[in-house]
Amino acid sequence: MCLCLGKCVVRYFLVSINLIFFFIGAAIAIAGGILLYQLRTNSPLDVQDYDLEIILVIVLGCVIAFISAMGWCGACAEKKVLLYIYSGIVVVLAALQVYAVVKLRSADVISEDKIINSLEKTFNDTSQRETFHVLESTFKCCGPTGPESYIGVYDQLPPSCCVNATIMPDLDKPVIVDQIGSKALSCSIDDAHLGCSTVLMEFLKMVVHYLGLGFIVVIAVELLAIVLALSLSCCIAPKTG
């Protein structure tokens, strides 16, 4: 016979956890959809190689929302079958997330070659050159692999490549105003940012690091939810006719 201390507390706590995770899953799916749309329509990068990863994130969000809805319904209605199914699915999901964390921690999931190829493809497309300069200004980087990328392309580096400079609007072209107030239209290679591939790699590695930490937190909460669901299912008395 199960010890059903704090049955109401367990029930409402399980309801709260699943309600929160439902909104988190829905938010992940929506954010993934928006990101996929933005990358396909407005991004200066060729992101077709990353479509699968983004779609998997959308699917993961939908799965989290569906499972959370099942756990929420099972806790609210006190249905043993739903709670058992919910617990089994969460065990499988937690195991997959443990595998994902191990892969994130032990392997290079980000291909620098893919990033460089994507950047160079955009950089070499003259119709996308201004868009590439926007990317440089946003991430404080210069060229696909560094300022040397502009050798043979421009006579001088664009303002978006220059360090310690404020780009001010001009009638024809932006003017760089450095810290001592002198004006110039460009800067030397020594005063330019690092290559965009290097900067983006560091940014994506940081994202992967925090994504791994997020997975660990989610796994811990899922294990707690499994314990609560099984505890609540034991406390539900069988219906008698």
> 92-134: per-residue pLDDT in tens?
888 888 887 777 666 565 667 778 888 888 888 888 888 888 8
List every span in the chain annotated with CATH 1.10.1450: 112-199
Task: Report percent pLDDT > 90 for the chain.
Answer: 5
What's the predicted TM-score (pTM) here?
Answer: 0.65
User: What is the C-alpha separation between 90 and 64, in angstroms, rounded?
Assistant: 9
CB 49 within 8 A of CB 78: no
Q: Within a 13 Å sphere around the CA of 21, how many CA atoms are in the beta-carbon half?
A: 28
Calculate helix-pair angle for 129-139, 112-124, nearest 10 degrees. 130
Higher-scoring residue by pLDDT: 165, 123: 123
What are the φ/ψ torsions at residue 188 (nearest 5 degrees)? -80, 165
Residue given tokens 């300069």 in the structure block:
133
User: What is the C-alpha separation between 124 and 129, in angstroms, rounded?
Assistant: 8
What CATH fold (topology level) applies to the domain 112-199?
A: Cd81 Antigen, Extracellular Domain; Chain: A (1.10.1450)
In angstroms, what CA-CA distances link 37 with 24, 41, 48, 54?
A: 20, 6, 12, 10
